[in-house]
Structures are given as structure tokens and as C-alpha cells.
Amino acid sequence: MKYCKDFIVVKNETITPTLYILRLQYPETLPEIKPGQFVEILVEGEKDVFLRRPISIHDVDKENNQIALLVQVVGKGTSQLSKLKEGDKLNLIFPLGNGFTVMGKRVLLVGGGCGAAPLLYLLRVLKQQNIKSDILIGCKDINHLFSKKEYQELSNLHVTTEDGSFGEKGFVTAHPILNEDFDVIYCCGPTPMMKAISQYAKQRNIPCYVSLEHKMACGIGVCLCCVAETNQGNKRTCVTGPIFLTSDLKDF
């Protein structure tokens, strides 16, 4: 079931000058939301922005009927969203897409940059189901590490930074946690990073799920601008995805 509803901005938390977290209040009881799903946001107040903006759901607070969205400023639409203040209304179509398949006894989550957004809510669901997890986050520097406290409360956090300002210096693909055994890998971030993790998983015969970051103008499978090539033919990322098993994807 999809909904088109107004949320109220509870908080606009700045992480960096171009990265922020919107915490939104739903006026009713939240429907079921799966980790990995996304929303389409109506951007108001910017005359050059006509299409909604697809944003992954970063976190869900079912008790208080709130969701959190991690947003990076990349253009006029997201720039306009960054100006939202407490009490402002924001219209969303949600929840869209599929979600992660939760399975295994010990799992690894790998995230890169702002693409790691869907992993926090996934961690909550994993902990609720008593599945042991490790999360490996790669980012530019310590200032770009968001939701650190929450990650540490829910999982074993491992971090790599490009400048070595926190955790291991380098990229996630060289982190020693990859030498350990896992039942499943969940990965979100830049495509080259996801492909590298996919190859690692393939070599070790581990199922690997990725969240594809395709442009999704409508979010409901009508515009066909988010097609992904799979072994079963072309699939609409916004409907069949954005979560895919890498063994089903071509070029992964």
C-alpha cells in the first residue's frame, strides 16, 4: 500500500554544509515500512523543480510515528529541502520499492558516503530479530560520519576514512573485517564500491544485496527511467528494487 501524505518537520539536523537529516512526524500511525524502501518528496517553493525527489528512508521510529531522511544537497530540489524548518509541512509518497531480505545469523552491512542511509533502519530490524551484525562505513572524513551513536548502539561499528581522521585509513574494501565469516552482506553506496563488495561476496559464496541509486522520476514504475539490467531482463528499479541480489544483476 502506498500513501500520499503530509509530514511535519520535527528537526532539520545539519551534518555538513551539504548533508543533513530531516526528522519528520506522521499525523497517524505509520504503516509498515521495510528497511531499504524510499519516499518521493514534493519540493515546493522552487519554480524550476517539477519532479519529486526520491530519498531513502534512513530510520523509522514506530513508537512516535516518525521517520528520518538523510539528504545530500546536489541541486535546486535538495537545496530547497535543506531550508526546511521545524513545523514546515512536507508531502511524501511512501513507502516505495521493495526492501532488504532479512536473513542469516551473522551479517555484514557495508555503506559508503550518504549512500549508506538505508542501513540504520536495517540495523534496527536486525537487532529486533536477534541477528548479529557488523557495519562497515566508508566516508571522506570524520565530519561526514553520520548517525555514529546509533550505529554503535545497534551493531559493531567499523569505519574507514579517506584521510585517516577516524577508524582505518583507506577504503572499505581493504578493511580487516572482510576476513571474517558472514552469512549475508547488505551494501549501499557508490556503484564502484558496491561492485567491489559484490565480487568479494561472489568469491566467498555469500549472498549480497545492494541498493541501486538510479534516477527515479515517478517512483511507481510509470516513467521507465530507472531500468536495471538483470539476468531476467530489464526491471524497474523503483518497483522491483531498489534492493537487488547481486547474482541477479548484470555487470555485478
Question: Mean pLDDT per segment of 10 residues, for the chain of length 252 residues?
Answer: 96 93 97 97 87 95 97 92 95 96 97 94 98 97 94 97 94 95 97 96 97 82 85 89 95 88
Q: Are 117 and 146 in contact (CB under 8 A)?
A: no
**CA–CA separation, 104 and 195 (whole Å):** 22
Residue 219 CA to residue 127 CA, distance in Å, equals: 29
Query: pLDDT at position 221, please?
Result: 80
Q: Please, are residues 133 and 159 in contact by the beta-carbon 8 Å criterion?
A: no
Helix (H) or strand (E) holding 197: helix 191-203
**What residues form DSSP beta bridges with 136?**
110, 158
pLDDT of residue 213: 82
What cell numbers appear for 242 in the block? 531498489
Distance CA 80, CA 225 (A): 23
**pLDDT score recorded for residue 172:** 96
Specify the pTM: 0.95
Distance CA 158, CA 227 (A): 33
* Residue 154 host element (H or E): helix 148-154
**H-helix or E-strand spanning residue 196:** helix 191-203
d(CA 84, CA 65): 19
Domain-wise residue ranges, the chain = 3-96, 106-211
How many angstroms separate the Cα of 175 from the Cα of each of 127, 135, 159, 162? 23, 11, 9, 12
Residue of 155, 32, 20 whose CA lies nearest to 78: 20
- What are the residues facing 106 on neighbouring strands? 132
**At the topology level of CATH, where does 106-211 sit?**
Rossmann fold (3.40.50)
CATH of 3-96, one of 3.40.630.30, 2.40.30.10, 3.20.20.220, 1.20.1250.20: 2.40.30.10
Residue 140 pLDDT: 93
Question: What was the pLDDT predicted at 91?
Answer: 97
How high is the pLDDT of residue 251? Answer: 86
Strand-pairing partners, residue 38, are: 56, 96
